[in-house]
Amino acid sequence: GAVVSQHPSWVICKSGTSVKIECRSLDFQATTMFWYRQFPKQSLMLMATSNEGSKATYEQGVEKDKFLINHASLTLSTLTVTSAHPEDSSFYICSAPWGGWGTEAFFGQGTRLTVV
C-alpha cells in the first residue's frame, strides 16, 4: 500500500524555539495532506488541511501563525510549531489520501513533541 513517512518520530525542544515536522508521501503524489494532533488517550483532532501550492486551511481554534504549514511539492508537507510552549507537547500525525478526496488516508508514524 501507499506509504506516508513522517520525520522526526520524536523531538524534545526548549520553550520558545521552533520545531519543523516533515510529512512525505513516498510512492504517490498528494495534493492534499492533513495534520492532526492527538493528546494522550484521546482521538485525533484535525488541525489543518495542507494544499499543494496554496494556503493551508486551518480548523477553528488552531492558530495559523503558530502552526505554519507549507506544502511546496506534491510529496512533501511541513508543519512548523513556532515559539513552542509546554502545552504544545503532543503527538502530531499527518495523513494523505492516495487518490484524492474520498480515498483511504494513509498516516505517517507520528511525531512525539515534548516542549520543556
Partner 1 sequence: GESVGLHLPTLSVQEGDNSIINCAYSNSASDYFIWYKQESGKGPQFIIDIRSNMDKRQGQRVTVLLNKTVKHLSLQIAATQPGDSAVYFCAVQYSGNTPLVFGKGTRLSVIA
Burial of residue 14 (CB within 10 Å: 0-12, 13-18, 19+) is exposed
Q: For the segment 4-33, give every residue that binds partner 1 (CB under 8 A).
A: 4, 6
- Of 59 and 63, which CB lies nearer to partner 1 in the complex structure? 59
Beta bridge partner(s), residue 73: 76
- Of 20 and 91, which CB lies nearer to partner 1 in the complex structure? 91
Q: Omega before 8 cis (within 30°)?
A: yes
Inter-residue contact 58 to 45 (CB < 8 Å): no
- Of 44 and 74, which CB lies nearer to partner 1 in the complex structure? 44
- Could you tell me the smallest distance in angstroms from the CB atom of residue 83 to partner 1? 26
Which of residues 77, 81, 108, 115 is near partner 1 by CB under 8 A?
A: 108
Binding span for partner 1 by CB under 8 A among 11-19, 65-73, 76-84, 105-113? 105-113
Q: For the segment 51-90, give every residue that binds partner 1 (CB under 8 A).
A: none
Give the DSSP letter string of 63-81. Answer: -TTTEEEEEEETTEEEEEE
Rounded CA separation 95/108 (Å)? 6
Count of residues engaged in binding partner 1, rule: CB under 8 A? 23
Which of residues 13, 44, 68, 74 is near partner 1 by CB under 8 A?
A: 44
